[in-house]
Amino acid sequence: MTIEVGARIPSITLNVLKDGVQAITTDEIFSGRKVVLFSVPGAFTPTCSAKHLPGYVENLEKFQSHGIDVACMAVNDAYVMKAWSRDQHVPESLIMLADGNANLARALGLEMDATAFGMGLRSKRFALYAEDGTVKALNVEAPGEFKVSSAQAMLTTLGV
């Protein structure tokens, strides 16, 4: 079942690469904060690298000027997420989350089976906005589309 507006983000452990792989919980990410979490099917994939992540990098200051943190998630390991962040010139303040086993994607009900494309279990392309761990907005893309989860679409959704 897909998470809905008004629901709490489940407590899940993800990874980031700082000085080695470090665990970070969704409680640490969302508690007491306003956060846009956007998810991509995979690091280094065409739409994700050409449009999705770059849009959030370009608009990061707009979100931050309204007290909103931004996090990117993919079903990749922390090393891939770090390499992708370097390749895309992602500022340190944009959190790059590795959901390597799709634990958060599954807990949100936003996983997809991409085995037909040789990618295994992945996350759907989506963006959500949460305040103190409660989902206030959720934009999930239809398969193969990139319309409602972009940075600009989330800025519009939030009236920012």
State the catalytic residues.
48
Q: What is the identity of the amino acid at 12? A: I
Q: Is residue 119 classed as helix, strand or coil in its secondary structure?
A: coil
Half-sphere exposure of 39 (CA within 13 A, CB side): 28
Rounded CA-CA distance 160/156 in Å is 6
| Rounded Cα gap, residues 25 and 123, in angstroms | 18
Q: Give the phi and the psi of residue 36 in degrees, each rounded to 5.
A: -100, 120
In angstroms, what CA-CA distances link 48 with 3, 11, 16, 72, 159?
22, 26, 19, 11, 24
CB of 36 closer than 8 Å to CB of 127: yes
